[in-house]
Amino acid sequence: MKKALVAVAALAALLLVSACEAPEQVDDPVSCASGEASGQGSSAQANAVNEWIKRYQIACARAAVAYASSGSGAGVTAFLAGTGDFAGTDAVLSDADQASAATRCGGAPAVHLPLVIGPIALAYNVAGVGDLRLTPATIAKIFAGEVTTWNDKAVAGDNPRMVLPATPIRTVHREDTSGTTANFTRFLAGTAGWPFATGSAWPAPGGLGVRGSDRLAAAIARTDGAIGYVEASYARVNELTTARVGDSRGDFAPPTDEAAATAVASAKPAGDGDLRLEFDYDDLYGGAYPLVQVTYEVICKRGASAVARGFLSYAASPAGQAAASGAGYAPLPDTLREQVSAAVAGLR
């Protein structure tokens, strides 16, 4: 018996040594690398990124990846300052930031890799109200402070067969700079004549401001009459009721992954070799949910670490997108996923 145990132990040790010497793989052709990589930024994508990190590190024992959910604005600022390998942002870099990124990247450009997509949910908490429908015009009036009660004629016009209470509307928005805010205000400007600025800082007066997607969802959950915008996975995790959003054709779609993916499939890359996506809200395919968010990983086209390249390659793979779907996000449409994979393969 003792000889048998010794033989088994020796065989196990041999297998362990062989495994350590063999090249590690994550769903060929995505290869592992030894070392560290780090990123920071968008809290909207944090659940997907954490799932990628967990799975990638299980398969790639010699790689360590870290991600700080600090918000898109803070993530971009840190990246431009030279901190970490990539930034997660729900809004594309401004022209000024693009110039700063080229300096940070040693003269090479920074590229946008759309890796996480999903609907921005309009989550609300109004006793007795379910299956709420809202047009972009009504949404804009609510967040501009022009519609202040839930039985206002604008809300009633969107929901003609619903009994609405006179509960005061309490809007909740992001207090910190946020790519979700940038996408939300861009949607309002593109569909509803939004009278305020667009961008990552909330522009309208009034309402409750909170920091981070998780706190925003929690604020809605505890506030009667509340409505706010949040990446849909946070609404699902917190079991918040969400509204259907109208499109230019007068159809109302729920914030499902499938409806968001339909909208993203209609978007076009900027056309300059980068994968920044541009939306035409009046030209979305039928059944598309128009209020969507694309989260990009911004990384230097030259000088990216091997671990960062391997990690992002896994994120863009079918397995990585399946993991994101399991974490509550919409997988990238196949054509876009292939474009992202090719862009990651072009990093050096």
Could you report the per-residue pLDDT of 87-116, keeping only the tens digit for each?
999 889 999 999 999 999 999 999 999 999
> pLDDT tens-digit profile of 53-74?
999 999 999 999 999 999 888 9
Mean pLDDT of 185-194: 93
Res. 3 pLDDT band, cuts 50 70 90: very low
Tokens of 115: 């890796």
User: Residue 79: is its pLDDT beyond 50?
Assistant: yes
Query: Please, what is the average pLDDT of the chain?
Result: 89
Q: Using an 8 Å Cβ cutoff, are 60 and 32 in contact?
A: yes
pLDDT tens, position by position, 242-282: 999 998 788 999 999 889 999 999 888 876 668 999 888 88
